[in-house]
Structure 1
Amino acid sequence: MGTEKIADLQATAAYNFVPLGPEIVPAEFVHVQEEAGHPAWPALEKEQQQACFSKHVRETGKNSGWLELDITALTPLLVGGASDNGQFFAPLDPDHPALPGSSLRGLVRSLVKILACGAMRPNDDFEDKNLYFRVVAGYGNDALKTHYDQLTEAEQGGSSAGFLVKRQDGSFYISPCQVERLSSQSATRQDRPIIQWKKVKKKNGEEESIATTTNGPMMDRKKHIIQQARYQFFHGRFSTKYPVPSKLIYNYDNDPLHADENWASKNKAIDLLDPKWSSEDPDKMTKDPQAVAVVPCHFVLESDGETVRSFGHGPKYRIPYANAIQKSVPKPLRQLPEACADLADAIFGVSDLWSGRVSFEDARLTSAASYEAPSLPRPQMVPRTTAYQMYLEQGRSSGAATKHWDSKDATMRGYKFYWHSNAPWKKQSEDPPIKNTKEIQPLQKGAKFHSRVWFQDLSDVELGALCAAFDLGADDHTAYKLGRGKAIGMGSIRIRATLHLQDEDAKYHSFLGTTGQLCHVLKDGALKTYVQAFEAYRTKNLGSLAEDFQKTLLALQDILDFTPVTQEKAARDAWNQQIATMSVTKDPDKRFARHVVLPDIRTVVRQAKEKQQPSEESS
């Protein structure tokens, strides 16, 4: 370990989390329905909810028009990906790049959900699944090691050996078998796990298919293989069939170690659902005419002794958490639109219920298309939800995390945002090489874009919620993040919004202009007037919880603050260090492996300011 005690260590990352709101603030028509003495919103049929929405739009949707957006890139910008020459990727050619309207829509919708205390829904705001993990050697206070041993029944001897069988109807079962660990001394060393089959003749003359599995190699610091476990699976008892739940198959298939080809290759993983590892004659081997694939595996049964809890390639395989991600989100915030529609639902629409009333144009470049010199980008450590010390509330700002995804009081930290930074995006000499990385040419900072956000038939509160997302950037201190490379200093933009409203009374009298084109008749619309109407509605609905929500607003303001990037060089360098991505391999304190806690947004900002005070006083 490094020079500091683990209790004093803190994780650092290019991202952090804006806390969830205390509860959902419902859309206006949800309240109107209940206040009128009608059945509560969740009790209504789909057609009745649609009728409530339509009535709301007819009676209160008096605001139509557009928001004029002037956008400036404050750091290099790369949106959507890289074209063949590595330049800024956009719907148009490299000489006329644009910011996709869909990207702007996603940014604004996320901000509206936060500002309007929206829902945090599975498979809408986050991918809901049971994450996989493995703990072979835990640290002294690693809460996950004990949990892993419990789920794999380590004290009872651990996993059992068996054959995983897939049937024609897509169902799976596991039949137990005998297993023998083989000596690896005379075997040919493999650089990755494999499964090999052979047929042997039994005493009665029948053939038996025997599988030999080779696990991934264990290497020393010089990358020399020092150990490689091999097992032989035989004598399957196929009359015994333990069903494998379809959800377990789904979670296994979606574990990045199997679903992500790049990650699987990097980690030299084996996918038991890949038919290439199957016996050639699964139906004959299992005496099951419906069998289409069979592979050797290790598994653990549920406490009932009848259903498979988990399975994997080797004896110490990755297992799923018992709880899905959504269990970490407070139940009231998980409500679907049918149970509690929020303001984001009302504005942006809900599939199968009603359409949205906003439309985002692509932002067209209004300045010269100037690109950075081509270069390989710095490596980016992709944040993964398996890092529970980063994604879950821990109740502390330093030391080792104690709460994982199966902890009783596990709570998701909130919405992920990236800090603003001017750290160099280009690969540095000390950075490790990354395979298959191509040179990129992001658009230079200073690039200017213009766009419009069209809206139709919004109420004062709904228009205020939409405007509030842009009102955050009304000063020079706030900026937004868009596109790729957020973790390496790219994607910071400033947005200036001007509100234009159609005069509903006048537009029918001047529908056509002298040129025969549709006229836009405008009336004065101060953006802040509508923001204030929205904020009053939010405060009224939150009641006593409004004060708690201030923590969310302050955290959002802090992580959108561009001020640290505009400081003197020494202060900027210190800030970049404060939010630097931890190295998994070169960190002397092994903070990532030790599951050291990531402090919250307010703590990061406070500590950064405290570090600057001595230098400011001396100067």
Structure 2
Amino acid sequence: MSEGKRAARDEFVNPYTFVQLPKGEPEAGWRTAPAGHDRLGEERYSGVVKIDLTARSPLLLRNVYADDDGTFPKRSSSGFDGPVPYLPGSSLAGAVRSLHETLAGGCLRVFNDNFRPGYRDQVQKRPPGWQLARVDEVDESGRPLRMQLCPQPPVWVESTALHNALGDAGNLKTGARVTLLSRGTEVLERQQLEDPNLVRAEGSWVVLLTEARTRRKDRKNPAGGAKLRGRYFCATGELEGTVRGVEFDAGVWESFLDAVDDTNDMREFRQRLGREDDKPHWVDVLHPKDNKVLGKRIAARRRLYPDQVVWVLPETVGERLLTVKDMALSVVWRHAGGVDKARRRVPEQALACTDPKNLCPSCRIFGSADTEGDGGKGQAEQNAYRGHVRFGDAIPHEAYPTQQEWLPPMGAPKPGAGQFYLNRDQGAEEKTTTEKNARPLREWGSEGDSKGRRGLRGRKQYWLTGTPGDRPYFRASAAKPRVFHEDVYEADNKMLGQAQSVPAGAVFTARVHFENLSDADLGGLLCALDPALLLRGYDDDVEVERPEYGWAVGGGRPLGFGTVTSQVRLDSLDDASSRYLDEAAPSLDVEEAVAAFRRAAPRNLKDVWKRQLTKVLRLDWAVSHQVWYPPAGWLPEPGQPLDPKALLPSFTFWKETVGGRAEKARFPYRQLPSSAAPSPAMKVIPQNTQEGR
């Protein structure tokens, strides 16, 4: 289908889509013993594939090394006067293996099967029974061993009163000690204290500070008169004298960790490649109106720290032991998405191989490493299998120039967004929950799973770019490369990034060594290196005479970086007779190897090739100028002005597609189109500026 039939001004195309996992039970022999490395077997081949990669969009690499400074990797190479940019063999190996898993139906080698999302709770007061508590002692993993409760209901104290008592905002921190001379008055169903004369430094009361941006900038004054503008109140609780040991109900600590994982604190932490520390990381709490520092809070981490203040829901409180039923870092916190981890939402056969004697098609070629530990046996075991393929670095044909790229925020994937990540449910489209304020349909474990656990959509793939100048990132930054850093986002946004790229049109050559592969194995490797070899026979789009297929390598793929097309040839080929007996080399060629791979592939894979991969791996099948995350505004056609601020995230989009109900609003469930659909486009829902974003 042509671009013109798919393009519409009020639509966008999400940068990623999914290729479904093969349905049904795997065919016999799908997982089987690999060929081994002790001998070159009968009707098996070793040799070298030479591959030429042509960049169809700028290539971007970063985080190649632990001390990476954002520059493109460079190395010395013959024929050049100095170091030149290159593609590391490790980057090629990862990209090619991932594509091979998709083409051959291999296991999900890089997949966090323990993942479970966390979701923000609705804004409301904590139910009865919740108490503030001070962490007294933790184990080496940060799990609390001892706690001290604040059994009386908390008192909410205005920050200015605490500043007055403690000296200044720099002394107002989570865990700070104060004394309250009054419990204040009841305001909005909570005890609230505003008089600075009733607060003293030190004492038996502890303070909890949390993120201020969730507060409303303007709030109704219950006493009448002017609105309360941007006032910040801290929860405080009076500690009892007893320090108790802590036990958690089954699954409570794990649910807390899952909820923490989806916080903005953790996204920024992972972006910086941070390491867990046994000391808290302090974050400034900023006034939501004027960004003045109000105090300091402890950043959310997958652990707690001594003197940290948290909310707990006690199950039982004994003389020496406290059993915790639930725990939170703030009064409006997060909850885990149901009880099922990600492994329960994919077919069992798709989980990573663990037995080196029984491997999927991809692990038999590229190798396997058991990442599940010792299985509780208390001793280390080696359950890995070395692959049959080695990738050399891809060396450029010329000393291509590099360009500094100023990148907008690109966080970690968010599989908790069920609109996109969970299998499509035709019956749920445009529906909402049956009850008001129930967990919306997009959440794991919500009413949407009532008819059966919804599976994950499949393997994530980014739409490929053959015309990078049409992509929104390149259009927005063409005249001003720093536009995202200077005009669109705040300069101190920790998710902003920098890297270097080489231009579209650059050509690189790499050598891929293989050993002990069957003709079908070799054909699968060749198709992963050049998917056009496989897919041109399955594409029935008569409007395009010779469609182009490619794959992606390096970073920035959501923005349009990294698309390459390739050409492969067998540089050398041996079987046992030619290698050891000096006989003639085998006559197997590229076309014969690809044909062998087609014959050997399971029938259900061929449907995936035809309906999905002929679109997903085709350059510019998705309309280039529309490919962006849910945008804040319209994405005009190429040649028309594009306001970079239209590329800000549309929080309204995510709010209005969740499949939930509020007191006076209905937000229908809307889902990402299938990659097999005639069009991958969705309707733009512009950002509602009245939300204060």
Tell me the TM-score normalised to structure 2 length: 0.64
Gaps of 5+ in 1: 1-8, 32-48, 138-148, 279-292, 512-520, 566-571, 611-619
Determine if the alignment matches structure 1 residue 315 to structure 2 residue 344.
Answer: no
**Partner SS for 1:67:** strand
Write the deviation string for residues 351-390 of structure 1: whole angstroms up to 9, x where unpaired.
3242111101110011241334x45334446532232322
**In 2: Cα distance, 1:603 partner to 1:503 partner:** 40
Q: Which amino acid aligns with 1:117?
A: G
Number of the residue aligned with 1:412: 456
Q: Could you tell me whether the CA contact under 8 Å between 1:21 and 1:117 is conserved in 2?
A: yes
**Partner SS for 2:385:** coil
**Partner SS for 1:195:** coil
Q: Which amino acid aligns with 2:336?
A: P
* Structure ranking higher in helix proportion: 1
Determine if the alignment matches structure 1 residue 461 to structure 2 residue 534.
Answer: no
Gaps of 5+ in 2: 1-9, 164-168, 182-201, 220-227, 272-280, 287-296, 370-382, 433-439, 534-545, 633-645, 659-669, 684-693
Determine if the alignment matches structure 1 residue 333 to structure 2 residue 350.
Answer: yes
Number of the residue aligned with 1:213: 208
Q: Deviation of residue 188 (structure 1)?
A: 5.0
Q: Deviation of residue 609 (structure 1)?
A: 13
Q: Which amino acid aligns with 1:66?
A: V
**Partner SS for 2:414:** coil
Q: 1:599 pairs with 672, 678, 686, which one? A: 672
Q: Could you tell me whether the CA contact under 8 Å between 1:65 and 1:454 is conserved in 2?
A: yes
Q: Deviation of residue 449 (structure 1)?
A: 0.4
Write the deviation string for residues 46-77 of structure 1: whole angstroms up to 9, x where unpaired.
xxx7xx75499764562111211001111111
Q: 2:631 pairs with 564, 572, 582, which one? A: 582
Q: Which amino acid aligns with 2:60?
A: L
Q: 1:391 pairs with 421, 424, 444, which one? A: 421
Number of the residue aligned with 1:270: 298
Number of the residue aligned with 1:299: 312
**In 1: Cα distance, 2:410 partner to 2:463 partner:** 14
- Relative to structure 1, the CA distance from residue 524 to residue 133 in structure 2 (aligned partners, 3 Å threshold; closer, same or farther) is same
Determine if the alignment matches structure 1 residue 371 to structure 2 residue 402.
Answer: yes
Q: Which amino acid aligns with 1:394?
A: R
Write the deviation string for residues 460-497 of structure 1: whole angstroms up to 9, x where unpaired.
23222212213413465112111111122211111111
Q: Deviation of residue 446 (structure 1)?
A: 0.7
Number of the residue aligned with 2:568: 497
Q: Which amino acid aligns with 2:631?
A: M
Q: Could you tell me whether the CA contact under 8 Å between 2:73 and 2:87 is conserved in 1?
A: no
- Relative to structure 1, the CA distance from residue 221 to residue 81 in structure 2 (aligned partners, 3 Å threshold; closer, same or farther) is farther
1:36-435 mapped onto 2 (5 Å cutoff): 53-54=35-36, 59-60=41-42, 62-81=44-63, 87-90=71-74, 95-120=83-108, 124-126=110-112, 128-137=114-123, 157=128, 159-167=130-138, 171-173=143-145, 174=147, 176-178=149-151, 179-184=153-158, 186-187=160-161, 194-198=173-177, 209-217=204-212, 218-220=215-217, 225-235=230-240, 237-239=242-244, 241-243=246-248, 247=254, 251=258, 254-262=261-269, 270-271=298-299, 293-300=306-313, 307-321=323-337, 322-334=339-351, 336-338=353-355, 341-351=359-369, 352-372=383-403, 374=404, 376-380=406-410, 382-396=412-426, 399=430, 402-407=441-446, 408=449, 409-421=453-465, 422=468, 423=471, 424-425=473-474, 426=477, 427=481, 428=483, 431-435=488-492
**In 2: Cα distance, 1:64 partner to 1:600 partner:** 42
Q: Which amino acid aligns with 2:619?
A: F
- Relative to structure 1, the CA distance from residue 224 to residue 295 in structure 2 (aligned partners, 3 Å threshold; closer, same or farther) is same
Q: Could you tell me whether the CA contact under 8 Å between 2:673 and 2:681 is conserved in 1?
A: no
Determine if the alignment matches structure 1 residue 527 to structure 2 residue 587.
Answer: no
* Structure ranking higher in strand proportion: 2
Q: 1:538 pairs with 601, 606, 616, which one? A: 601
Number of the residue aligned with 2:638: none
Number of the residue aligned with 1:20: 21
**In 2: Cα distance, 1:261 partner to 1:377 partner:** 15
Report % sequence identity: 20
Q: Deviation of residue 169 (structure 1)?
A: 6.1
- Relative to structure 1, the CA distance from residue 219 to residue 249 in structure 2 (aligned partners, 3 Å threshold; closer, same or farther) is closer
Write the deviation string for residues 530-558 of structure 1: whole angstroms up to 9, x where unpaired.
2222222223xx5xxx2x76146532221
Q: CA RMSD in A?
A: 4.4
Determine if the alignment matches structure 1 residue 508 to structure 2 residue 541.
Answer: no
Q: Which amino acid aligns with 1:330?
A: P
**In 1: Cα distance, 2:208 partner to 2:456 partner:** 38
- Relative to structure 1, the CA distance from residue 120 to residue 522 in structure 2 (aligned partners, 3 Å threshold; closer, same or farther) is same
Q: 2:503 pairs with 420, 428, 444, which one? A: 444
Q: Deviation of residue 96 (structure 1)?
A: 1.2
Determine if the alignment matches structure 1 residue 557 to structure 2 residue 614.
Answer: yes
Tell me the TM-score normalised to structure 1 length: 0.71
Q: Which amino acid aligns with 1:582?
A: P
**Partner SS for 2:175:** strand
- Relative to structure 1, the CA distance from residue 367 to residue 274 in structure 2 (aligned partners, 3 Å threshold; closer, same or farther) is closer
Q: Deviation of residue 17 (structure 1)?
A: 1.3
Q: Which amino acid aligns with 1:343?
A: P
- Relative to structure 1, the CA distance from residue 97 to residue 509 in structure 2 (aligned partners, 3 Å threshold; closer, same or farther) is same
- Relative to structure 1, the CA distance from residue 529 to residue 74 in structure 2 (aligned partners, 3 Å threshold; closer, same or farther) is same
Q: Deviation of residue 236 (structure 1)?
A: 5.4
Number of the residue aligned with 2:555: 484
Q: Which amino acid aligns with 1:18?
A: V
Q: Could you tell me whether the CA contact under 8 Å between 1:301 and 1:309 is conserved in 2?
A: yes
Q: Deviation of residue 317 (structure 1)?
A: 1.6
**Partner SS for 2:208:** strand
Q: Deviation of residue 110 (structure 1)?
A: 1.1
**In 1: Cα distance, 2:128 partner to 2:581 partner:** 83
